[in-house]
Amino acid sequence: MAMVYLTRRETFCASHRLHNPELSDEENRDIFGKCNHIHGHGHNYVVEVTVSGSIDPRTGMVMNLVDLKHLIHESIMAPMDHKNLDLDVEEFRDEGRISTTENLSIVIWERIQRLMGSVLSSSSVRLFEVKIWETEKNIVVYRG
C-alpha cells in the first residue's frame, strides 16, 4: 500500500535565552553570542509536523487534519506560544535542557508522540518529521 506524508504548518512566538549554567558567563558569551543576552530574545517560529501512513480506504485520509491540528495545539501552541521557553516549558525549566532549536524539535517530537496514541484510532499513522524555522535562514529537522 502507498505511503503518504501529511504536513501541517503553524507559527508560534516564543522567547528564550541560550545559556548553560554549568559554564562561566564568558564561556556562554563565547558560545552563544548575542543569544546569551541576560534578558533573552524571541523568535517567530514556523513549525511543520509531518505524519506518514497509508490511506484509510474508509476515509480517504492518512489522518484527519482536525486530529493533527489538535495534536499541534496541545503539544506546541498551548504550552509554547507567547511563552518563555526557559521559564514556561517544563523540559527546559525542569530538565535543564538548553533551549536551542535542536532541543526544541526533540521536545516537540516527544510531546506529539505521547499524545498520538490517545488521539489516533489508526496504528498505521507515524510521526515522520518535525521541522522548525527559527529564522528564514536557520532551520532544524528532527526525524526521531
The answer to whether residues 107 and 85 touch, using CB atoms and an 8 Å cutoff, is: no
Catalytic residue among 37, 70, 82, 90: 82
Q: How far is CA 113 from the centre of its chain?
A: 11
Q: Is 35 a catalytic residue?
A: yes
pLDDT by residue (tens digit) across 74-131? 999 999 999 999 999 999 999 989 999 999 999 999 999 999 987 666 578 999 999 9
Q: Is 70 a catalytic residue?
A: no
Catalytic residue among 35, 48, 110, 129: 35
Model pTM?
0.94
Q: Residue 107, Cβ neighbours under 10 Å: how many? A: 24
The CATH number linked to 30 is 3.30.479.10
- For 65, the domain range is 4-142
Q: Check residues 2 and 13 and name the one with the higher pLDDT.
A: 13
Q: Is 10 a catalytic residue?
A: no
pLDDT of 121: 60
Alpha carbon separation from 81 to 14, 16, 39, 99 (Å, rounded): 6, 12, 18, 14
Q: Is residue 126 within a helix (H) or strand (E), and if so which, with residue range?
A: strand 126-133
Q: In total, how many domains does the chain have?
A: 1
